[in-house]
Structure formats: C-alpha cells, structure tokens
Amino acid sequence: MRNRIFFLLLSILIISCSKPEPRKPIVRKTSSFMSESVKRNKVLNSFEEKLFKIKMERDSLNKYISSEFGFWYSYNKKDSLSNQFPVKGDEVVFSYEIRNFQDNIIYSKEELGDKNYLVDQEDLITGLQEGIKLMKEGEIITFLFPSYKAFGYSGNDKIESNEPLIYEVHLKIINNKN
C-alpha cells in the first residue's frame, strides 16, 4: 500500500514538474457582420441623399445649403446683421417641430415646448447639435437630417428606424456663458 502511494505521489511530482507548454492563441475569423453593416449603411445613406436632393429640387421657394456635417438647411427667417453664433458652453433656448419625409408632423412645437440647451454639453441628436451652432438668435431654419444624423437605427415610439427627418428650428435666445 505504501509503495502505491509513493509511486502515485512520485508520478504526480514528475508530471507537475514538467515544463509548461504554451497555449496556442485562439484564431477567430473576423465576422462579416461589420463589413455587411458598412455596406448596408452606405446604401441607406446614398438612398436618403437622393430622396433629399429630389425634395430640394422640387422646393422652388427655398434655397438649401449643404452643410459640412452631412445635412442640408434652408433659412425661413435669416438675421444678416448679427454675427453671434452659439459656442460651447452657451445656453440657448429654442423651439422646434419634427416632420417626416412626407411633411407630416411627428412632434409639433406645442407638444415639444421650448428647450434649454447647453451647447456641446448636453445630449441632443447629432444633427441638431451641429445645426444649432449654425444659427443666430431669432433665426428659423429648416434642417433636412438623414437618419444617421437623427434617431438612426433606434428610432422611438413615433419615429421609425432609419427615418430621415425634417426639423424646423427657431433659435430664440443665446445666453453667452464665456
């Protein structure tokens, strides 16, 4: 019995003292999910851009400007005298309404009410964050936001997933905090 225990312990000792073998790295093939997602988004963005270009061509009353941020806008009321734009940290008060591509109101100005916003310090949809910085106090601008500048894939209870939106924004007050 002692011999068996001795040989068992000796075996365990010999096995445990052997050099450890390094594990081989796990090779994972990259998923095609990301590349498929990129392709899908490029097609969607191209489609939305074509829709907006057709809409702008048909709207002979307004002149649309292409922003460097990937959306378009048109002045309903422009201030040509002031040169004050909101900057990071300024508090602005604005009202807006949201319409779908067919110009049906999704959220009215009355429903949304006036909003206070600290520029670049609070969350808003990306398009609105960038659009407000293009406005002067008292101006009213219509923005055409592709879905990726609005609610994107997530949407909400009234806004479809990947829905391009039209925002009419009235910038009422700029309170400089600097």
pLDDT: which is higher, 72 or 9:
72
Residues 6+ apart with CB under 8 A from 77: 138, 139, 140, 170
pLDDT score of 12 more than 80: no
Domain assignments of the chain as residue spans, ordered by start: 62-178
Q: What is the pLDDT of residue 5?
A: 74
Cα distances from 51 to residues 27, 88, 146, in angstroms, run 43, 32, 10
Region 11-18: mean pLDDT is 63
Contact at 8 Å (CB) between 132 and 140? Answer: no
Predicted confidence band of residue 4 (pLDDT cuts 50, 70, 90): confident
pLDDT of residue 32: 77
**pTM reported for the whole predicted model:** 0.79
> Which percentage of the chain shows pLDDT scores above 90?
69
35 pLDDT tier (thresholds 50, 70, 90):
confident
pLDDT tens string 58-83:
998 999 999 999 999 999 999 988 88
End-to-end CA separation in angstroms for the chain:
88
Whole-number Å distance between alpha carbons of 69 and 57: 20
Q: Which pLDDT belongs to residue 177?
A: 77
Specify the higher pLDDT residue, 2 or 165.
165
Taking 3-state DSSP, the helix, strand and coil percentages for the chain, each rounded to the nearest 5, stand at 30, 25, 45
Side-chain half-sphere CA neighbours of 62 within 13 A: 20
Residue 34, pLDDT score = 80
The residues pairing with 143 across neighbouring beta strands, listed in sequence order, are: 73, 167
pLDDT at 176: 87
What integer best gives the mean pLDDT of the chain?
89
> How do residues 111-157 score in pLDDT, each as one tens digit?
999 999 999 999 999 999 999 999 999 999 999 999 999 999 888 88
Per the CB < 8 A criterion, the answer to whether 113 and 96 are in contact is no
Which CATH architecture fits 62-178? Roll (3.10)
